[in-house]
Amino acid sequence: MSALDPAIADRLKRNAEGLVAAVAQQRGSGEVLMMAWMDDEALHRTLTTRKGTYYSRSRQRYWVKGETSGHVQHVHEVRLDCDGDTVLLVVDQDGAACHTGDRTCFDADVLLGTED
Amino acid sequence: MSALDPAIADRLKRNAEGLVAAVAQQRGSGEVLMMAWMDDEALHRTLTTRKGTYYSRSRQRYWVKGETSGHVQHVHEVRLDCDGDTVLLVVDQDGAACHTGDRTCFDADVLLGTED
């Protein structure tokens, strides 16, 4: 049982694992930093602490972004999409968002570049 | 069997349904417009046509964004994240990205606002 506000919990459309997708975006620049997952408790912790907090499917535990790297996400806004299955976090990201050391998780692999 | 370039297909980490997440972002403004899903064929079509093309889990079919609304997504860049499970599309979105008529799917429901 999560402490998430029931008025919010009622609007979530979770996947079969009980999770919603979470996209983190840098405030100001608009860079899309990363995509991860949250259950109700991770969303509750994010909303109440204003630190980006996710649920790791592989490790089956909560993780606060930056808890080991120091690259914390200060959360300014959280928005739920029209389907209720994705949240958008507008954050101030300290340092690299990606575990590889890249600024964002989308920096390294360009599948299609801008047309000439 | 999809026509997706095997060198790309090999880098994808699909979920149990065979899908990767796809986040669409407006070029220039950086607005995060929507989140949807792609299988290999939807990604192949997106890369080759430069029109945002997704896979609908509920309808079990492909859909080209704007095919009914006229609100087409012209795709400028496609990037794969470090995990291989999410693509970021940088697009020019004609009109509203959201089926509700909102510019983005994240406009209507603010769970947490900016601190005073």
Q: Which residues of A touch B78 (CB under 8 A)?
A: 110-112
The answer to whether residue B14 sits within a structural domain is yes
Please state, in angstroms and as integers, the Cα–Cα distance from residue A5 to each residue in A24, A50, A83, B112, following that order.
21, 15, 18, 12
The answer to whether residue B21 sits within a structural domain is yes
B79-95 confidence digits (pLDDT tens):
999 999 999 999 999 99
Is A11 in Cβ contact with B109 (below 8 Å)? Answer: yes
The answer to whether residue A110 sits within a structural domain is no
- Tell me the CATH number at A38: 3.10.20.810
- Give the integer Cα–Cα distance in Å for A111 and B79: 5
Q: The domain containing residue A42 runs over which residues? A: 6-93
Q: So what's the ipTM on this one? A: 0.95
Tokens of A45: 């912790």
Domain count, chain A: 1
- Give the integer Cα–Cα distance in Å for A96 and B109: 28
Binding site per annotation, positions of B for Mg(2+):
81, 83, 85
The answer to whether residue B102 sits within a structural domain is no
Min Cα distance A108 → chain B (Å) is: 7
Is A35 in Cβ contact with B81 (below 8 Å)? Answer: yes
Quick check: A9 contacting B, CB < 8 Å? no
pLDDT at position B100, please? 95
pLDDT at position B29, please? 97
Residue located via tokens 């975006």: A25
- Give the integer Cα–Cα distance in Å for A71 and A74: 10
- Give the integer Cα–Cα distance in Å for A4 and A42: 9
Tokens of A116: 């000439």
The answer to whether residue B1 sits within a structural domain is no
- Give the integer Cα–Cα distance in Å for A62 and A112: 34
The answer to whether residue B99 sits within a structural domain is no
